[in-house]
Amino acid sequence: MNTTRRALLGTALATPFVKPLAAQQREISVGIWGGAQGDYVKRQIIPAFERDFGCKVLPEEGFTLANVSKMRATKDNPRFSVMFIDDLAIPIAKAEGLIAELPWDRMPAMANLYPRFLYEEGFGTALGISLGGIFHNTRVRPPESYAELWEPRYRGKLKLVSPNNTPSMFFLIVAAAIETGKPFAEAQYEIDKAFDRVAALRPNILNIFGDGIQAANEIAQGQADIGLVEYSKYIYPYTNRRAPVTMAFPKEGSFAGTNCQVLVKNGPHQDLAVAFMNRMIEPAVQKGLSEFALTSPPVSGITFAPETARWIAYPVEEMDKRGLFTPDWTYINARRAGWTERLNRIFSL
């Protein structure tokens, strides 16, 4: 008996304890962004959601094209449950069968969503709206027109956004507007005419940047005078902390940078994924996110103190007043690959 007991005890000590399957903590993976938005999601939104739902949320930072690629690569066996992407990619993800329609009946927070921020007939919602423009060191007088950036005085003093990033399409629209003299809404259809203009900017480009946060720091340090084109969500949090970098919006206009969320088709634990997406657009969560990242919320009924309101375009009437331009992404997406290749050839610095 003693031998048997010792053998059983030894076996028990050598075998790790495994929780019954039903008691194991459920997990979902969510593709998010970096920067102030991503930091707030990781520090404030996810921990509270985990406590409320008794689950684990695994965030993974990325950007729109990379996040779409992740969904493609795991389409047959989805790893992610929710993905953050820009508005331009929602039609692509829907057409490729990567995302699912949102269940309105399980997302009560959608009642406050502005209609313009529901995408593809219910396949995605906005999370935050940034202003798209140039950013500059505060000791530098910003140009009144984008056309000034082609002048010799800016030789080697500009940073240009990577062709892999969404705002590179804004830059092409700017170049087309300068080339044709037409407003953004018309110039976006004449980008093919603007590549000589694009190439003419090369002497003024110090380098290409892919990370808006790093670029903001480099501009603040004086490594370059001006960066174009980028979202205010990467710049204004530093401006608000008194770093010597801020945004400017030349007379041609400004762009709407709309960050969104989608439900990955057949992703793990769809009930948790839907609950997480609903949490992301609840007014209290949106208020905190907007105050931290200085982005405009896509939902109505939020009141901001003046120190926040000065940085954002809210409510929608203020967005319209500022003329935030949203491109025709269906048209641009069909041509983006070719344009990106041409940009890469021009700016192989």
Identify the pLDDT of residue 74.
Answer: 96
Identify the pLDDT of residue 255.
Answer: 96
Identify the pLDDT of residue 23.
Answer: 46
| Residue 183 in tokens | 């407003």
Residue 24 pLDDT grade (very low, low, confident, very high; cuts 50, 70, 90): low
Residue 13 pLDDT grade (very low, low, confident, very high; cuts 50, 70, 90): very low
Contact 175, 320 (CB under 8 A): no
Does residue 262 register a pLDDT over 50? Answer: yes
Residue 22 pLDDT grade (very low, low, confident, very high; cuts 50, 70, 90): very low
Q: For 153-180, what is each residue's pLDDT tens digit?
A: 999 999 999 998 889 999 999 999 999 9
Domains and CATH numbers, the chain: 21-129+257-324 (3.40.190.10), 132-255+329-347 (3.40.190.10)
Question: How many other C-beta atoms lie within 10 A of the C-beta of residue 334?
Answer: 10
Q: Tokens 């400017």 sit at which residue?
A: 248
Rounded average pLDDT over 247-270: 96
Pairing, β 158-161 against β 205-209: parallel
CA 2 to chain centre: 65
Vertex 259: Cα angle to 246 and 175 (nearest 5): 60
Q: For 48-73, what is each residue's pLDDT tens digit?
A: 999 999 999 999 998 888 999 999 99
Q: For 89-116, what is each residue's pLDDT tens digit?
A: 999 999 999 999 999 999 999 999 999 9
DSSP string for residues in 42-69: IIIIHHHHHHHHTEEEEEEE--HHHHHH
Rounded average pLDDT over 65-85: 96
Identify the pLDDT of residue 48.
Answer: 97
Residue 119 φ then ψ, to 5°: -110, 145
In angstroms, what CA-CA distances link 84 with 51, 103, 260, 323?
22, 17, 6, 25
Rounded average pLDDT over 201-228: 95
Q: For 290-342, what is each residue's pLDDT tens digit?
A: 999 899 999 999 999 999 999 999 999 999 998 899 999 999 999 999 999 99
CA distance 66 to 62: 6
pTM of the model: 0.82
Identify the pLDDT of residue 5.
Answer: 42
Residue 349 pLDDT grade (very low, low, confident, very high; cuts 50, 70, 90): low
Which runs of E-coded beta strand occur in the chain? 26-32, 55-61, 82-86, 99-100, 118-119, 124-137, 158-161, 205-209, 226-231, 245-248, 254-264, 324-325
Which runs of E-coded beta strand occur in 71-203? 82-86, 99-100, 118-119, 124-137, 158-161
Residue 12 pLDDT grade (very low, low, confident, very high; cuts 50, 70, 90): very low
Q: For 275-304, what is each residue's pLDDT tens digit?
A: 999 999 999 999 999 999 899 999 999 999
Q: List Cβ<8 Å contacts ≥24 apart for 332-339.
A: 332/88, 332/169, 332/188, 333/88, 333/91, 333/92, 335/191, 336/169, 339/163, 339/169, 339/172, 339/191
| Residue 325 in tokens | 């331009």
